[in-house]
Structure 1
Amino acid sequence: MIRNYLKIAFRNLIRNKVYSTINIAGLAMGIAAFLLILEYVSFEKSVNQFHTNLPEMYRLINLDAKGNTWAEVEPGWAPRAKQNFNEVKDYCRFSDDVAKGIVKREGNNSESFRENNIGYADGNFFSFFSFPVIKGNKSSLNQPKTVFITDKIAAKYFGKTDPIGKILTLSNQFGTLSYSVEGVYNAPENSDINLDMVFSLKTLENPANLNGNDWAAVNNIDDQYINTFLLLDKGTNYKSLESKLSTYRNAQKTDKDGVQFRLQPAVNIHLAEKFSDTYQTSGNVKYVYTLGAIAFLILLIAWFNYINLSTANSLKRASEVGVRKVIGATPGNLIGQFLGESALMNLLSFSVAILLVYMLQPFFNQLIGKNLSLEILGSSSVWIIGLSVFLIGMLGSGIYTAYALSNYNPVKILKGKLTKTSQGAFLRKSLVVSQFSISIALMLVTIVIYSQLKFMQNQNLGVKTSQLLVIRGPEIGSDSTNKIRKAAFWNEIGEQSFVKDYSLSGSVPGNFYNFNTSGFTQPGSKAGDELALYAFTIIGDRYLNVYDIKLKAGRNFTPEETKVEWNQNSKVIMNETAIRRLGFESAEDALKTKIKWDERYLEIIGVVKDYHHTGLQKAIDPIIFYPQNSSQYITISLTADNMQEKIARLEKIYKSYFTDNPFDYFFVDENFNKQYVSEQQYSHIFTTASVWAIFIACLGLFGLATFTVENRNKEIGIRKVLGASVVSIVGLLSKDFLLLIVIAIVIASPLTYYFMQKWLSEFAYRINISWWIFAVAAGLSLLIAVLTIMFQGIKAALINPVKSLKSE
């Protein structure tokens, strides 16, 4: 019997080539999109899961009085927590920012590289976390001046030579120190800790290795710069422990900063446990669930296509069903036959989908910025959910189709009355409306995201970003030698004919500030105002001019003021937001009043107009500008032509002064737009998803249009004989479908508006959702539908009516 079912199924596939092709293509595209997005969701859910201690690991974070949280804490709390609280079995600290610098292999002719993904870590780093160590002893990191590197870094610096025992020098804010390579490890892609080099934190226990940076002392409880993870005993009530830790912190701190400790479960560090979680995460749980929903909706459209076309095409097989029932076939026999046909259709579609996934994988990986494949589906339990959804949907669509076909009344079938029922037509119309509602919603989302992205990219930032090249300053070389060379380098840069101007700073627009700090008050401040945070940026006297930042009141720094020693300076510049936070009513009032920073008094000599130092996702920060000739960033304003020649000339000058330092540069505008990478990914993925969904829906619409034309073939012939034009016939065939599209637009528009308003509310600066967005989506949907239907409509209208009516 099964053999006969398969024969019949194959014969029906071959006999109905158009419907079979549309069904297989639609299902295959839906399954392929589902699998690709499932890869991404599986990857996101697998991040950090390889750590053996993960269930008992917690990250120590700070929470201020205003509800802001951040992950960097003072390094001295971890050993104190282990010493004073029995619940803490162990701890591990690492920094992923302060170690940044230039790394060079030992040897005179070795090339140096600026490394950003490096950090200092406690000696138990590789036993606390579960990074696979390929070579070396994990405990070696307990020794000062040792370093572990990834296999990729080992190949970069040492090629095929065994790196164990080799020497790397690191030049950063702590000076230049040599480190022995004692281990090689692998850094999995699905990890939130992405360090290419792990230097021994024990090195910084020696004050001589701090290079005067006493704030980095590893036992201090005053300066926040390190990530701290605690390993707790199983069964520990971490909420109770975090309360005790906060109490202990407040008792130990002399300055009452209002900060509390919180313990964040390590399992929630990448993806929050729930949408309302306000703690910092490296992933976006909303984004993951949204993509999962899109995958399901695209698959749903494909299943709707299958049900639509199968039930429509079933009228052609009505006589077959009627005869089978008359000669004794039971509903079970018929359901088994049609369910088998459905399974065959899905199996063929799945095979085509796998081929599509392999073909589209490079494009998808480029879209999301990750290197994924179908193998990733096994890295988490998401594949079980995905498989369940697929099987339930496949069986559901197959069972409904089989049930609908097997329940035809044989008497009505053989009398030719079956086509008069309206139940099947209503179902098909409902499914078309559902398909296009989903497609139109995705189209609207795409337009809104794209509009918001363009708004942010084209908004007047209040600061110049074009034609500005930034060179990272040197770090290798003695301070006294570099000081002379820097001055000579700046002078030579200024003498170049293509250089309009240049400036020195510790931060540039598009990058984070030098640091955030509090403790600022003015005579009229209230209790608690000293806890407010301010962004702190170090600039030279040319910074405002080069970046075209406008002064609202007061003046700029003088060259002499930027040469004053750090602790001797008494002058600052602020932006408008900063003076408002301090409680001044106007810029002029701020210039007349000295402010207090902890125990120092500062004079506000200038107030600049607010500008966007960071992206438009967040509000403008209160910024305090401090005068220093920092060489961390050298911004050069260039003339527009022959850019590569100018960069080559600048590199030559740079290398003549700083031989061992790599020449690293970037353009300010390109760097600034990197802040919108997440929104760009949203835009690309939603654009692709909406095009994919609309194409699948149109395949179904094309199939239904074909079915309609076939069923109204004789009617069309009669109308042509009576003088109907091609346009009128196409309009006749199109109007019912277009009405369904209009209903879909009416359903999709308010729902999309609601959800996109919630998404836009997360942006400090955002667009308003205008009527034209809905008009564009509606127009495109109707146009696509018309073009889809027109092909079959025109084809039917051009057929000789004699052929349509010759059987009568």
Structure 2
Amino acid sequence: MPGFPLKLLRWFCKPEYLPDIEGDLIQLYYRRAENMGRRRAHLLLMRDILLLCRPGLIRSSELFRPNQNIAAMLKHNLTVSFRSFARHKTTFAINVIGLSSGLMCVLLIGLWVQCELAVDQFHKHGSRLYQVMNNLQSQNTLTLDITPVPLAAALVAEFPEVERAVSTNNFFSWETRDGILSAGDVSIQGTGWHAGPDFFKVFSFRLLQGNENRVLTDKNSIVISEEVARKLFPDSRNAIGKSIYWKHPLFEGTFLVSGVFENLPAASSAKFDFLISMEVLLDHDRYAAKWTGDYAQTFVLLKEGADVAQFDKKLKGFLKSKDPGLDKFSLFSQPYGSRYLHGNYVNGTPSGGRIDNVRLFSVLGLFILLVACVNFINLSTAEGSLRMKEIGVKKTMGASQWLMVHRFFVESLVMTLISAVVALILVVLITPRLNDFLDRDLLLKVEPVHIIGFGGVVLLTAIIAGAYPAIHLSRFKPVAVLKGRLAESRGQWTFRRSLVVFQFALVVIFLVAIQVIHRQIEFTQKKDLGYNRYNIISFPWKGELYNNWNGLREGKNNQNFDSFMSQVRGLPSVLHATNLLGNILDNIPGQSGITWSGLDSERAYEFQSPVVGFDFIETLGIEMREGRTFAKEHHDDYSKIILNESAVKLMGLRDPVGKKIDMNGGSEIVGVVRDFHYGSLRDAVQPLIFRCDPTGRTIMVKIRPGQEQKAIAEIQKVYSTFLPGYSFDATFMDDDYLALYAPETSMASLSKYLSVVAIIISCLGLFGLAAFAADRRMKEISIRKVFGSTSADVVRVLSREFTVPVLVAIPIGLPISFFLAKEWLSGFAERIDLAWWYFALAAIIALVVSWSAVALKTLKAARASVLRGLREE
């Protein structure tokens, strides 16, 4: 006879109808079993019972019985809950500390995650807004966000899927966007973009003054932010038509204000103070309009219902169709709203980005909250022995299991609400410091999204923490409880210790993670990179570098810049000074299309190719293996190159100094340097070719040790003399190098704090369990001491109960931590080895903190009076 269908019927059917309905269904079941078989009869019985779930047959819920006073019951349960908190102060404090810490971590991480997910999501047409990306095929595929300026107009003209497209100038540091804006006697420094006329139709940046159809159509127009308008004009509300003089390193001129846009929202990844027409860039750079130029970033607004996959398929070879020399470039589109979080590519394939940290810390926050819930569950079930009589008496007086579940759920909810209030107070206190640490503007606001989100987390926490204790405690049998025959089952004992195992497995993982991240960061800071990055400052040259954009190639060297460099080199506190294009740490230009004797014609290689000035090798202290460095007395120019050892090895050159390779029309090798690790240790050392060209805007100065402050003051004075009005933005190269690992450093710090929280919560839970265990076994302890056991023996017996779960957690947590550590370290080309003692130390610390958590209570119990224990019933 099938049990479950009939149990379901007895559960929902009204008692007055149950006998007749059940009898008829049983008779029908047996007839069907004879004719159709038991399996078929069972399924039909289940169907019939489900069809009987009608309002007229379903019994009334106890909750809605007329004699049920819900308000009185709730008041009673609240009163009993607060009395329980007052009676068991230690348990209450442990639960509040644990739950409030977990909720605080979840809330802070939630605010940060919301801030990250909101970046670039405010654009009105965000679902149709894409950025055109560019894959360069060489020995590996390099993904770039640079495109030719003519691409935007061509996409609108030749692709029916494209509604609008706009180009802006790219972010390369030698294509500087900084300049001086002046109106009357007021001058400020600002960052400007060149942009196409449809900029405000593609992006949803709000115009406060001006018409979006016309603000960028005139190349003599400028669109400024409301902050710039406020700084430059007394009456910023009437800025339209007023003139602004822009002094830029490449050109300068007067522009008329055609529009004012609202200050950019914090959720915008784009940062600019003003916009001028892309036509201005095209007028001042003869290479910008070419398809071979890489001056722009291109954004497209696709039409409603456009097939993105088909668009990408047509886009792939589009550059080659415009210029056969661009056959190694292939275009594709990426949703603009996802670029901030999904910005990493490996060999042309998306490979995470900031989204990895979002996922990681979301999981960590939830795990810490689970650890806090585990404490509540463990302490509540352990405390059940103290509540047996309460449960037995209430059930004897007629309380149903549902009412008892309600009683314990109310207690769980009240505990969680108190913890939530504490968590909110902690968040308000911590958020300002966290904002400084993360460089974010996290703010807890009284908004529906925050209220609903946090309220949902609190409710979910109350359910997770209170579900098992409520159901477990409400199932006690009143007769067994009142006769004192209720003993903890083996299943309950195993469940509680399984939760402790879960807690300390996470503790072990956290402890290993702290060590591995810290050691890797320390490794990056102390590793010999092959050059000396200390006592070197770098800063951008913001003035004219030569008389016009193509002046150097026409022999018109800029005497102003040369004079500045000569004065800097002549300062007594300066050892060397040089300049370069870009940044040797993270913005090294590449060079492809290089050929040499013996090259396989079917293979293509791309070399890292920094463009540096004189004294660069000396400034960084890079070791020369052969030949000489670049020097002014040798009249070195773009035709002279220096290779690193990896480039020599790749080319298979013997005695390379004096030989020539086909690079930019023919280049002579004048020297070979030892391999050095430029950039981040995430990337392996690649073949590198130094090109000589003293026109770079990044200036690097080697300062005499101990004279850093004096040198900076002297250089700033010289800089202000040559470039009045421009800020002197100098940074130490060592600080810039450390900034390469800012995500890992932040991760290390946050992981450390989260680990401390998890360890404290776990230890508090063990302390609470140890307190209950000691109180429950007080008579046993007294008897042991009567028969000669020492305090040490008693401590050992009590500690063993909590040591075993930790010993089980260690072999569970160590393999998981090894896998996670290995996976994280795989992102570094140069990395530490996973030493065995990282894991051994984590295991030892886990044991020590667990013993420390229970030591105080077990020692107190071991030293308690024997008579006290024997007097207890």
Would you say 1:546 and 2:616 are equivalent positions? no
Of 324-333 and 155-164, the range deviating more from structure 2: 155-164
Range with bigger deviation, 632-641 or 346-355: 632-641
Query: Matches of 1:378 and 1:154 in 2, distance apart?
Result: 34
**Distance apart, 1:301 and its partner CA:** 0.8
Equivalences for 1:117-128 in 2 at 5 Å? 118-128=192-202
Q: 1:537 corresponds to which residue?
A: 610
User: Are residues 149 and 770 of structure 1, via their aligned partners in 2, closer, same or farther at CA, if it must alter by over 3 Å?
Assistant: farther
After TM superposition, the structure 1 stretch with the greater mean CA deviation from structure 2, 355-364 or 681-690, is 355-364
Out of 395, 400, 410, the position equivalent to 1:340 is 410
Residue 314 of structure 1 corresponds to which residue in structure 2? 384
Matching residue of 1:33? 105
**Residues 1:106 and 2:173 aligned together:** no
Write out aligned runs for 1:505-584 (5 A): 505-513=580-588, 515-529=589-603, 531-562=604-635, 564=637, 569-580=638-649, 583-584=650-651
Is the CA contact (8 Å cut-off) linking 1:104 and 1:110 kept in structure 2?
no
Among candidates 141, 145, 149, match of residue 220 of structure 2: 145
Q: 1:368 to 1:474 in 2, by over 3 A?
A: closer
Question: Who is 1:411 aligned against?
Answer: 479
Counterpart CA distance in 2 for 1:88 and 1:428 is 61
Residue 375 of structure 1 aligns to a residue in which SS? Answer: coil
Letter in 2 for 1:34: V
2:613 partner amino acid: G
Q: Find the aligned partners of 1:635 and 1:248 in 2 and give their Cα distance.
A: 40
1:46 aligns with 2:124: no
CA distance in 2, matches of 1:284, 1:652: 40
1:407 Cα deviation from its structure 2 partner: 0.7
SS at structure 1 position matched to 2:609: strand
1:75-86 alignment runs, 5 A limit: 75-86=149-160
Shift of the 160–421 alpha-carbon distance from structure 1 to 2, 3 Å rule, reads farther
> Share of identical aligned residues, percent?
28
SS of the equivalent of 2:630 reads: coil
1:438 alignment partner AA:
L
Q: In 2, Cα distance between the equivalents of 1:518 and 1:772?
A: 46
Cα separation, 2, equivalents of 1:120 and 1:557: 35
Question: Do 2:508 and 2:817's aligned partners in 1 also have CA atoms closer than 8 Å?
Answer: no
* Equivalent residue letter for 1:451: R
Bigger RCO of structures 1 and 2 (CA < 8 A, at least 6 apart): 1
Match of 1:183 among 237, 260, 266: 260
Tell me, in whole angstroms, the C-alpha distance in 2 between the residues paired with 1:160 and 1:687.
51
Q: Quick one: which amino acid aligns to residue 791 of structure 1?
A: L
TM-score (norm 2): 0.85
Q: For the structure 1 residues 277 and 12, does the alpha-carbon distance in structure 2 shift closer, same or farther, using more than 3 Å as the test?
A: farther
Map of 1:348-427 to 2, 5 A cutoff? 348-375=418-445, 390-427=458-495
Q: What is aligned with 1:131?
A: 205
Letter of the aligned partner of 2:618 in structure 1? N
Q: Which of 227, 230, 245 is the matching residue for 2:297? A: 227
Q: CA deviation at 1:593?
A: 3.6
| Residues 42 and 379, structure 1, Cα contact 8 Å, conserved in 2 | no
Aligned alpha-carbon RMSD (Å):
2.8
Q: Which deviations, in whole Å up to 9, do the C-alpha atoms of 1:108-137 show, x marking residues without a partner?
A: 865553x5x542111221221112233443
Q: Read off the aligned partner of 2:256 and give its amino acid letter.
A: S
Query: 8 Å contact 1:102–1:170 — kept in the other structure?
Result: no
* 1:485-496 aligned within 5 A: 485-496=560-571
Shift of 1:21: 1.6
1:268 partnered with 2:338: yes
Q: Give 1:424 deviation, angstroms.
A: 2.4
Count of aligned residue pairs for this structure pair: 787
Q: Letter of the aligned partner of 1:336 in structure 2?
A: H
Match of 2:14 in 1: none
Is the CA contact (8 Å cut-off) linking 2:179 and 2:192 kept in structure 1?
no
Determine the C-alpha separation between the residues in 2 that align with 1:62 and 1:274: 13
Give, in whole Å, the separation in 1 of the partners of 2:759 and 2:455: 24
* TM-aligned CA distance change 1:643 to 1:691, over 3 Å: same
The 3-state SS of whatever aligns with 2:666 is: strand
Whether 1:292 and 2:362 are equivalent positions in the alignment is yes
Give the distance between the partners of 1:748 and 1:486, measured in 2 at CA.
60
CA distance in 2, matches of 1:697, 1:686: 16
State how far apart, in whole Å, the 2-side matches of 1:453 and 1:377 are: 39
CA contact (8 A) 2:392 2:482 kept: yes
CA displacement, residues 11-56 of structure 1 (integer Å, 9 cap, x when unaligned): 1121111111211221111111111111122222222211111111
Residue 596, structure 1, aligned to residue 662, structure 2: yes
Note the C-alpha offset of 1:596.
0.9
Which of 1 and 2 has greater Rg?
2
Does the aligned pair in 2 maintain the 1:551–1:606 contact within 8 Å?
A: yes
**Aligned-pair distance for 1:460?**
0.8
Q: Which of 837, 857, 860 is the matching residue for 1:772?
A: 837
3-state SS of paired residue (2:610): strand
Q: Do 1:112 and 1:662's aligned partners in 2 also have CA atoms closer than 8 Å? A: no
| Cα pair 2:99 2:369 within 8 Å, conserved | yes
Say which SS state the counterpart of residue 90 (structure 1) adopts: strand
In 2, are the aligned partners of 1:452 and 1:767 still within 8 Å (CA)?
A: yes
Opposite residue 164 of structure 2, the aligned amino acid is D
Deviation at 1:612?
Answer: 1.9
Which residue is equivalent to 1:741? 806
Alpha-carbon offset, residue 307 of structure 1: 0.6
Shift of 1:290: 1.3
How far has the Cα of 1:658 moved from its partner?
3.4
Moved more, 721-730 or 342-351: 721-730
Question: 1:552 is aligned with what amino acid?
Answer: R
- Unpaired segments of 5 or more residues in structure 1? none
1:477–1:60 Cα change, 3 Å? closer
In structure 2, C-alpha distance between the alignment counterparts of 1:272 and 1:488, rounded to whole Å? 45
Displacement of 1:173: 4.7
1:769-805, Cα deviation, whole Å (9 max, x unpaired):
1111112211222222122111112222332333333
1:55 to 1:279, Cα distance in 2 relative to 1, 3 A:
farther
* 1:700 counterpart residue number: 765
| CA distance, structure 2, for counterparts of residue 503 and residue 478 of structure 1 | 17
**Residue deviations 1:327-360, cap 9 Å, x none?**
2221112111111221211222222221121122
Displacement of 1:678: 0.9
1:763 to 825, 828, 839: 828
Quick one: structure 1 residues 46 and 429, their matched pair in 2 at CA, closer, same or farther if it must change by over 3 Å?
A: same
